[in-house]
Structure 1
């Protein structure tokens, strides 16, 4: 991942500029056309003072100026027309560039490896897609055009002014050079402030995402003020960085404005002396003053272009950080023939970076078409095993075999097409119940949908909704209860008709009646599917064909419920302390004794 401090002090690595040019390159023809129009408009603007000087000279000589006046008026109109066309081309191209940037980021962000997502703030990643991409579009289009046009326009104006009066240009240059030095000294600080501001905006988005994503917990904990303070600090950092940048930009504007005024006064004073001495004519002095007056246009264009470029480079650094994150390769694979495979773990080990080893040589097999339960204390590595099966992470050692085939040698899409995963927190997507239900099986027909709704006891819920299955369930499915979300997640998994079904605490939010129904559903599904589940409720565990006890990343024991009650002390302890419910004591007390 890129070093977040690589832009501090106003220095950007060359790859940031190359990346910026990469987005502009497909539109190079249009951008060159827009630049040509801008330069043509600048040429017309540069000829206007010369035409004015000729008109004044002819008026002094009593000659006709009709042709020159018409030409001057035509030049002004044509210059405005060229500017309008250039603006349209530039704005259209800038929107196309930002579309390209965002499309690339969208594909990359969605395909990020889970390890990268776990290390990042989602809101900060989103800000790179929204705010940073906008800065890139202007840097690659109008910023670059202004930089080139401003430079050439300024050089051409200075050359013409030198031809008109080298002495007046010397006075002007002396004042402008002082201003230029001040601007060059300040610009690195502007760039650094822009970078800090972009990072602070990302932190602000992350703070609000944290608070709004767990708003019920925030309110129930009485933590509103703490979260407000946290987000407020990020907002203040963004404000401070922006204000610093504004101060420097104001300084630059004041210095350049003061330089222009000072040079204007100096030219009038010296020009008056030169006219009195008849070294130059009044017409030449007026033409020179017009060039000096219009000198602000290329200078402002240069400053705007430089500012846009530096902002774009700062944003490009942040976008590059995303582009350098590891992603899962996109592979087009045809859905495999449906089968009911076994799931075997052979000496599987894994650790999360600095957290040490979570799994240490785990070996067991979930037979095809049966129910295997994973039990163990928190932190034993149960959910981590599911993450390895889904290939969210890769084992550091060992193999996972799906139907006898090592999943590490298969495309991720092919592996995941055979598996359905019901997560512990049962996440829902903003949208309708239908969209969530068919998310993993978008081609499911109405008969299959009705069947799975009835099997998971959701048919009554759907019939009572205002728009039926097309009712919006709100952000993260908050219009549903925890139990309803749990059953919907199971229904979504069943609709996919997977070969392997992974269930992580799938009965955690269900009442006893709904749990009993869900156990019946799972028992039925297990006849046509391999089920591997994590459970803390005894009824769910005892219905399993095989139970694997995990402890500290190791398989401690395996067997049936009755076997483990007589052979494994940890399982006995789990039955008493975590799996046991009041009703269960009546049925298991004699077995434990």
Structure 2
């Protein structure tokens, strides 16, 4: 890697020797799982419904009241017709009819409100559970997933559950009761006409059921394609500057457009299945209506029934047809809900971090144990590529140790194992003499300060980012660590001070500012051990020197384990560990390794820290 020394010497820096990066699984939208069975979906949803059982019970009672009022309406209309034919007073019947209409309207409105409120509560609970699970999944699982697809499950798929409650499970109670009541009353009025109705409606229902057999599968496929589209959009937005600078806007737009087209096609396939139901049902219901009018008219002419009874029967037929149509609508909603639950269930099955130590009680560390120790550690990435092979080294307490080597040597992987983002295949990583697997995760990470290679900054304020690991820190402490890393100007450049926004992913900060902000956050937390992955990667020479001074001061009270490509930042570490291909090749100080490690000397020569023609002789110019 070239640095400022190449300019000082007038010599072109040779490229840094590299090794192939370990193969890791490419993030991708997961293939569509098999749809959950209705019973499994019900078991998954039931715990969330129980929390709203009071409101749902009232909604069911209101549904019964509305169903009863709906069934009374045709009977009262029949009485009005009979009263007109007999010349009797209409007032009582009309008043009763108006009262029943009002009761049905009020009960239906209250029921809908209670169901929608319960549905919103269910969505809130599922979103909380889903978000909580996503924040606890293992790092390996997270690396295999696409953010946009996961976000679509938290937003779109959970929203679909509201319809399951409001227009599905509990709406169907009143619908079924209304349909059943209408059938009973129709049978009492005229069994012959009921037989005609059942024959016509049964044909339509059978055809409709056949058409909806594939509905669950196509609904799930539609949701999967929407998730893929969300992933494509998130990918573009997260790399917008790179795409614009590369002149790739139109090519990336084509990728998003293709994902949107596939989502549209999947939605159209689902709509085709849904659309097949309505005409078939409508045809059956129209046939039933025509048959009832024809046969009923003939029965009135023959004196087998009265006009009032025929009017009542026809109104009951409409009362039956409407809920039957609703039942198929409910079935469609339930299939959409099952598809959403299937995708949610897939996420809830992802492996999460286990915050349970192996030991019954945290063991005590041995006297004089190293702050961090790798003891014959072997680790393999989930993709099958071995990253570390029998790695052993110790970091004495209060010292600085650097991990150096070509790209892909396993340096960042080693830091992740200390944090327990993954567990070793064999061997042990110890903190103060205790295997990290024997410590609770919360307690372990409270003793570690970790700065990632890309130094992520969260959207929000400067203060919120700094106190992420130390929420009780005072403004004076915050200002102190900002000064230590050369960022005092960030708190003064805006009238908002520490409450100034840093933008999404810290976009309002420079790369070097983001790097130093992440280091300031680790310093503020006061951790015993600092794990720094390329802490100076984005800094210029001046800020690198300032930060190096801050790290030197921090090292007086802390232990530092640093991953570095730029050797100029670690030449004065008490220990440098040279890694290559996941193995430890050498250990020692900068001066010792220049003599004993050919790879380290090659790295130093590449970065012009030493002249290629004189072993151990520093290169001219500032180092």
Q: TM-score range by the shorter chain?
A: over 0.9
> Aligned with 1:97: secondary structure?
helix
Q: Which residue, 455, 466, 475 being the options, matches 1:426?
A: 455
**1:2, distance to aligned residue in structure 2 (A):** 10
> Aligned with 2:108: secondary structure?
helix
Q: Which residue, 394, 402, 410 being the options, matches 1:381?
A: 410
Contact 1:419 1:502 (C-alpha < 8 Å) held by counterparts: yes
Contact 1:106 1:129 (C-alpha < 8 Å) held by counterparts: yes
Superposition pairs of residues 45-444 of structure 1, within 5 angstroms = 45-329=70-354, 342-444=371-473
Once the two structures are overlaid, the 10-residue window that deviates more, 214-223 or 55-64, is 55-64
**1:150, distance to aligned residue in structure 2 (A):** 2.0
**Counterparts of 1:491 and 1:315 in 2: how far apart (Å)?**
42
**Counterparts of 2:446 and 2:288 in 1: how far apart (Å)?**
73
Contact 1:31 1:141 (C-alpha < 8 Å) held by counterparts: no
- Residue 539 of structure 1 corresponds to 568
Give the direction of change, closer, same or farther, for the CA distance of 1:13–1:386 in structure 2 (3 Å limit).
Answer: farther
> Aligned with 1:347: secondary structure?
strand
Contact 1:2 1:321 (C-alpha < 8 Å) held by counterparts: no
**1:42, distance to aligned residue in structure 2 (A):** 0.9
Unaligned runs of 5+ in 1: none
Contact 2:204 2:285 (C-alpha < 8 Å) held by counterparts: no
**Counterparts of 2:56 and 2:31 in 1: how far apart (Å)?**
31
Contact 2:38 2:338 (C-alpha < 8 Å) held by counterparts: no
**Counterparts of 2:181 and 2:461 in 1: how far apart (Å)?**
62
**1:281, distance to aligned residue in structure 2 (A):** 0.4
- Residue 32 of structure 2 corresponds to 4
**1:283, distance to aligned residue in structure 2 (A):** 0.5
> Aligned with 1:547: secondary structure?
strand
**1:65, distance to aligned residue in structure 2 (A):** 3.1
Q: Which residue, 488, 492, 503 being the options, matches 2:532?
A: 503
Q: Which residue, 475, 489, 498 being the options, matches 1:460?
A: 489
**1:592, distance to aligned residue in structure 2 (A):** 5.8
- Residue 520 of structure 1 corresponds to 549
Once the two structures are overlaid, the 10-residue window that deviates more, 179-188 or 60-69, is 60-69
Once the two structures are overlaid, the 10-residue window that deviates more, 550-559 or 118-127, is 118-127
**1:328, distance to aligned residue in structure 2 (A):** 2.3
**Counterparts of 1:464 and 1:46 in 2: how far apart (Å)?**
72
Once the two structures are overlaid, the 10-residue window that deviates more, 391-400 or 433-442, is 433-442
Contact 2:118 2:165 (C-alpha < 8 Å) held by counterparts: no
**Counterparts of 2:386 and 2:513 in 1: how far apart (Å)?**
36
> Aligned with 2:577: secondary structure?
strand
Residue correspondences, number = 584
> Aligned with 2:52: secondary structure?
helix
Once the two structures are overlaid, the 10-residue window that deviates more, 456-465 or 314-323, is 456-465
Contact 2:116 2:162 (C-alpha < 8 Å) held by counterparts: no
> Aligned with 2:353: secondary structure?
coil
- Residue 471 of structure 1 corresponds to 500
**1:54, distance to aligned residue in structure 2 (A):** 2.1
> Aligned with 2:212: secondary structure?
helix
- Residue 6 of structure 2 corresponds to none
**Counterparts of 2:495 and 2:161 in 1: how far apart (Å)?**
45
Is 1:493 matched up with 2:522?
A: yes
Superposition pairs of residues 580-591 of structure 1, within 5 angstroms = 580-581=607-608, 584-585=609-610, 589-591=614-616
**Counterparts of 2:458 and 2:370 in 1: how far apart (Å)?**
30
Give the direction of change, closer, same or farther, for the CA distance of 1:590–1:552 in structure 2 (3 Å limit).
Answer: closer
Once the two structures are overlaid, the 10-residue window that deviates more, 536-545 or 411-420, is 536-545
**1:211, distance to aligned residue in structure 2 (A):** 1.1
Give the direction of change, closer, same or farther, for the CA distance of 1:330–1:356 in structure 2 (3 Å limit).
Answer: closer
Contact 1:371 1:530 (C-alpha < 8 Å) held by counterparts: yes
**Counterparts of 2:200 and 2:382 in 1: how far apart (Å)?**
59
**Counterparts of 2:617 and 2:610 in 1: how far apart (Å)?**
10
**Counterparts of 1:174 and 1:446 in 2: how far apart (Å)?**
79
**1:56, distance to aligned residue in structure 2 (A):** 1.8
Q: Which residue, 462, 475, 479 being the options, matches 1:446?
A: 475
**Counterparts of 2:492 and 2:385 in 1: how far apart (Å)?**
50
Once the two structures are overlaid, the 10-residue window that deviates more, 411-420 or 532-541, is 532-541
**1:13, distance to aligned residue in structure 2 (A):** 6.3
**1:330, distance to aligned residue in structure 2 (A):** 5.7
Once the two structures are overlaid, the 10-residue window that deviates more, 465-474 or 268-277, is 465-474
- Structure with greater proportional helix content: 1
Deviation string, structure 1 residues 482-523 (Cα, Å, up to 9, x no partner): 111111111111111110001111111111111111111111
Give the direction of change, closer, same or farther, for the CA distance of 1:566–1:557 in structure 2 (3 Å limit).
Answer: same
Deviation string, structure 1 residues 337-361 (Cα, Å, up to 9, x no partner): 9x99611100111011233211111
Unaligned runs of 5+ in 2: 1-28, 619-623
Contact 2:409 2:581 (C-alpha < 8 Å) held by counterparts: yes
Once the two structures are overlaid, the 10-residue window that deviates more, 220-229 or 387-396, is 220-229
**1:210, distance to aligned residue in structure 2 (A):** 1.1
Once the two structures are overlaid, the 10-residue window that deviates more, 250-259 or 387-396, is 250-259
Root-mean-square deviation (Å)? 2.3
> Aligned with 2:457: secondary structure?
coil
**1:174, distance to aligned residue in structure 2 (A):** 2.1
Contact 1:191 1:311 (C-alpha < 8 Å) held by counterparts: yes
Contact 1:6 1:13 (C-alpha < 8 Å) held by counterparts: no
- Residue 568 of structure 1 corresponds to 597
- Residue 480 of structure 1 corresponds to 509
Contact 2:530 2:558 (C-alpha < 8 Å) held by counterparts: yes
**1:470, distance to aligned residue in structure 2 (A):** 1.5
> Aligned with 1:362: secondary structure?
strand
Contact 1:140 1:309 (C-alpha < 8 Å) held by counterparts: no
**1:258, distance to aligned residue in structure 2 (A):** 2.1
